[in-house]
Chains A and B, each alone.
Chain A
Amino acid sequence: MKYLFKLAIANIRRATRRTVLTFFILGFGISLYIFLESFISGWENSSFDNLINFQTGHIKVYNGQYDSEKPYILSNLIENHGKVIGELYTKPYVTGAAARVHFLGELDNMQDAVAVVVTGIDFINDPKVYTLTNYLIEGSFDPSGVIVGKTLADDLGLGIGDYCFISLRKEQGAYVSAEKQITGIVYTTDIAVNGSSVFLDIDEVLSLYGVNGVTEIGIKTADIEKSALHTAELIKEYPGLKIEHWKEAAKQTIQMMEMERKFDGIIILFIIVIALVGIINTMLMSVYEKQREIGTLKAMGMTDAEVMRLFVLEGALIGFLGGLCGIILGIMLNWYFAEIGIDFTKIWGSDMDFGSSVPAGVLKSSWMIAPYISGLLLGIISSVAASYYPAKKTSRMQPMECLRVK
C-alpha cells in the first residue's frame, strides 16, 4: 500500500497546473458549502436570539384558552399574573419572570397615524427576561413615557421629548387615547420591534383598557439547555395555563430554516456536480496519459485490483487536498462574514420586512466545526466516486492494450 501511495502522490505532482486547477475547483465548491452552512447557522442563531430576547424568553406562559392566531384580543388574559410571577420567582431555576400585554393600536404624531403593536411592559422585571434595554440608542428606560422603535420614530419624524398620541380600540369599538412623551428610542436586531412597536408601562395600558389580565408571562431560566425540562415541570404544575418552550414559538423560523437548507442543498448539489465533472475530467486525462505506464506496471505483475486501488487512492488524495484547500478558502470567506458580517438593512432598507426570522442590522455567520469536517469528507467521497469509473475501466484493460498506446 505504501508504494501505491508513493505512486499516487507522484502522479498527482506530475501535472501541476491541472492538479492545482482541480484543487481550486473542488476547494471553491467546498468553501461555498462551508460558508453557506455557517451563514445559515449564523442566521438561525440570530433569529433564535431575537425570539428569545425580544419575544419569548426561554419559556412563555399564556392563558389556557390563548389562541396564537388571535394574539391581541382582550379575552383569554392571565388574570392572576401577579400570583403566578411571585410563585415563579420561588423556583431556583427562574432568573426572571415578566408580564407583557399586547394590543393593536395607532401611533399618531398629530399629522399621520401608523398602526402599531402596543406592548405594556413591567419596567422592573422586563429587563430580567428580555434585552430591550440593551438596544436603547436615545433617551432612557423611563416608565412615565413611551419607548418606540427607531424605524417607526424616523417614519413619523418623532424624537426624544416629542409628544404623540397612542390610541387603542376596545372590543366594543370605542377608542381610548393617551398623550405620551417619547422618552426612549430603541434600535434592535428585530425588524418588527424597530418598525412597529411601542412600549408603555403595563399598568398604564391595563388601566387604559380597563382590564386586569396580561397576555403573557416570559420566563428566563438559569440554563437554556434545561429550559425544555423546566417547561415540562411547569406544564404539570399549572394545568390551567398554556406553557410553551421557546422552540414552540420558533417553529415557523425552524421551518423557514429547513426550507432554506433544502434550497442550499440544491446549490450544494450543483457545486458538487461541477466539482465532480472537474475531477472526472482530471482522472480521465490522468488515466489516458498513463496508459503505457499502467501497461508497464501490469507487465511487472500489478493486478487489476492494485491498479484500481492506485487510481482510487489518487482520487482520494485529490479530494483530501482539495478539501483542505476548501477549508482554507472557507475559513477566509467565513472570517469576513463572521467578524464583519453583512448589513441587510443597508442593502434592502430598514423597513424591509422578511418576517421575524430575518434579523435586522448586521447579520453574522457562525463558526462551527461540523461544516469543515463534512466539507472535507464531501471532497474525499466525491473524488473517490468520480475516480471510480476511470479506475475500473483502466484496471480491466489487458496489459497489451495499455502498452500499445502511443
Chain B
Amino acid sequence: MLLEIKGINKTYHSGKIDFQALYDINLNIDKGEFVALAGPSGSGKTTLLNIIGCIDNADNGQVVLDGTNLIGKNPDELAHLRRDYFGFIFQTYNLIPVLTVFENVELPLKLLKKHKDEEIKEIVLKTLKRVGLEGLENRMPAELSGGQQQRVSIARAIVKRPKMVLADEPTANLDSKTGEGIVDIMKEMNSEDGVTFVFSTHDKLIMEHAKRLVLLRDGRVVQ
C-alpha cells in the first residue's frame, strides 16, 4: 500500500464562517494505480489531492504514506516528503516564467541534490523528448501553447521519477483534443514506468481513461 487515508476531515475558516470541505474520508491507493478523483466543483477533489500531496493539512484522521503517518510532521519534514515522493501537475501549469523549459524541468532534480549537472542534463532532455518537447528546451513558458506548457508541467512532475504524481484538473484549461493528448502521456507513464497517478477532474471524457474512479460529492466519497 502506497497511501492509506483514514477518517480525515478538513474545515476551512474564513472570518466567522467555517466551511467543511471533507467529511470522514477513507481511501487507499496502491503503487502503480491510475486514479481519478471525480466530482463537481466544490466537492473536495482539490482539497483531498492537496492533503495527499502534503501541501495542506487534514484536521484529524490519518494519512499514511509508505508506512509513515504524515499528521504531525513539521514543515521541513513535509517538504522533504514532497521532494522525495511527489510530482505535481497544476491546472494552471504553474511554470516559473523567468526560467526556460529546460530550467523548469531540471528544478526538481536540483532540489533533490542527488545528481551531477551532466546527469541532470541527460535526464531532462530524455524527459522532454518523452513528452514531445524535443528542441523546445530553450523556450520561455510564455512562448509555448497551453498544451505545450502542460507537457512541460508533466515533464517537471515525472523527471525525478516520483512514487506518485498528483494532477489537479490537468486538462481543464485545454481543448478536448489537447487534453486527450495529455492524458495519453500520463497513461503511458503509468503503464510503462509504473508511476502512480492520482488526478482530479470533472470532465467525463477524461474520467473514462481512469483505471479507478473515486467520486466525491459535498466533501464525501460517494463511490
Whether the Cβ atoms of B80 and A13 lie closer than 8 Å is: no
Contacts of B88 in A (CB 8 A): 296, 299-300
In the complex, the chain B residue whose C-beta lies closest to that of A403 is: B55
> Contact partner of B53 among A3, A299, A302, CB < 8 A?
A299
A-B interface pairs (CB < 8 A), number: 75
Whether the Cβ atoms of A292 and B94 lie closer than 8 Å is: yes
Most buried by A among B75, B79, B110: B79
Q: How far is the CB of B76 from chain A (nearest CB, A)?
A: 5
Whether the Cβ atoms of B55 and A301 lie closer than 8 Å is: no
Contacts of A300 in B (CB 8 A): 82-83, 88, 107-108, 111, 156
> Contact partner of B79 among A7, A292, A295, A304, CB < 8 A?
A304
Interface residue? A57 (CB, 8 A): no
Whether the Cβ atoms of B111 and A399 lie closer than 8 Å is: no
> Contact partner of A400 among B55, B98, B110, B111, CB < 8 A?
B55
In the complex, the chain B residue whose C-beta lies closest to that of A292 is: B94
Q: How far is the CA of A6 from the CA of B110 in the complex (A)?
A: 11
Q: How far is the CB of B22 from chain A (nearest CB, A)?
A: 14
- Which residues of A in the span 278-310 have a Cβ within 8 Å of any Cβ on B? 292-293, 295-306
Contacts of A14 in B (CB 8 A): 97-98
- The dominant DSSP class at the B interface is helix
Interface residue? A398 (CB, 8 A): yes
Interface residue? A10 (CB, 8 A): yes
Interface residue? A11 (CB, 8 A): yes
Chain A interface size band reads 20 to 34
Contacts of A3 in B (CB 8 A): 106-107, 110-111
Interface residue? B99 (CB, 8 A): yes
Interface residue? B84 (CB, 8 A): yes
Q: How far is the CB of A393 from chain B (nearest CB, A)?
A: 14
Whether the Cβ atoms of B55 and A298 lie closer than 8 Å is: yes
Q: How far is the CA of A400 from the CA of B58 in the complex (A)?
A: 12
Q: How far is the CA of A10 from the CA of B103 in the complex (A)?
A: 11
Q: How far is the CA of A13 from the CA of B97 in the complex (A)?
A: 11
Interface residue? B26 (CB, 8 A): no
Whether the Cβ atoms of A301 and B111 lie closer than 8 Å is: yes
- Which residues of B in the span 57-85 have a Cβ within 8 Å of any Cβ on A? 57, 75-76, 79-80, 82-84
A6 with B103: in contact, given A299-B55, A304-B79 (CB under 8 Å)?
A: yes
Q: How far is the CA of A10 from the CA of B98 in the complex (A)?
A: 6
Q: How far is the CA of A293 from the CA of B79 in the complex (A)?
A: 15
Whether the Cβ atoms of B99 and A10 lie closer than 8 Å is: yes
Q: How far is the CA of A8 from the CA of B44 in the complex (A)?
A: 36
In the complex, the chain B residue whose C-beta lies closest to that of A9 is: B98
> Contact partner of B112 among A10, A299, A301, A398, CB < 8 A?
A301
Contact with B along A257-269 (1 / 0, CB 8 A): 0000000000000
Whether the Cβ atoms of B82 and A400 lie closer than 8 Å is: no
Whether the Cβ atoms of A293 and B96 lie closer than 8 Å is: yes
Whether the Cβ atoms of B79 and A400 lie closer than 8 Å is: no
In the complex, the chain A residue whose C-beta lies closest to that of B106 is: A3
Contacts of A303 in B (CB 8 A): 75-76, 79-80
Whether the Cβ atoms of A400 and B76 lie closer than 8 Å is: no
Contact with B along A96-108 (1 / 0, CB 8 A): 0000000000000
Whether the Cβ atoms of A304 and B50 lie closer than 8 Å is: no
Q: How far is the CA of A400 from the CA of B94 in the complex (A)?
A: 13
Whether the Cβ atoms of B94 and A293 lie closer than 8 Å is: yes
In the complex, the chain A residue whose C-beta lies closest to that of B156 is: A300
Contacts of A299 in B (CB 8 A): 53, 55, 82, 86, 88
Q: How far is the CA of A295 from the CA of B56 in the complex (A)?
A: 11
Contact with A along B91-129 (1 / 0, CB 8 A): 000101111000100111011100000000000000000
A11 with B55: in contact, given A300-B83, A304-B76 (CB under 8 Å)?
A: no
A399 with B98: in contact, given A3-B110, A301-B82, A301-B112 (CB under 8 Å)?
A: no
Contact with A along B148-177 (1 / 0, CB 8 A): 000000001000000000000000000000
Whether the Cβ atoms of B90 and A301 lie closer than 8 Å is: no
Q: How far is the CB of B133 from chain A (nearest CB, A)?
A: 19
Contacts of A398 in B (CB 8 A): 55-57, 75
Q: How far is the CB of A376 from chain B (nearest CB, A)?
A: 26
Contacts of A13 in B (CB 8 A): 98
In the complex, the chain A residue whose C-beta lies closest to that of B85 is: A301
In the complex, the chain A residue whose C-beta lies closest to that of B108 is: A300
Contacts of A297 in B (CB 8 A): 96, 107, 111
Whether the Cβ atoms of A400 and B56 lie closer than 8 Å is: yes
Contact with B along A374-395 (1 / 0, CB 8 A): 0000000000000000000000
Q: How far is the CB of B102 from chain A (nearest CB, A)?
A: 12
Known: A3-B107, A7-B96, A296-B88. 9 other contacts (CB 8 A): A3-B111, A10-B99, A295-B94, A301-B83, A301-B108, A302-B79, A398-B75, A400-B55, A403-B55
7 contacts between A and B (CB under 8 A): A10-B99, A11-B98, A293-B96, A299-B55, A302-B83, A399-B82, A400-B55
> CB within 8 Å of A: which residues of B?
50, 53, 55-57, 75-76, 79-80, 82-84, 86, 88, 90, 94, 96-99, 103, 106-108, 110-112, 156
Task: Enumerate the 8 nearest inter-chain pairs by beta-carbon distance, A residue then B residue, closest first.
Answer: A301-B83, A10-B98, A3-B110, A399-B55, A296-B94, A400-B56, A303-B79, A301-B82
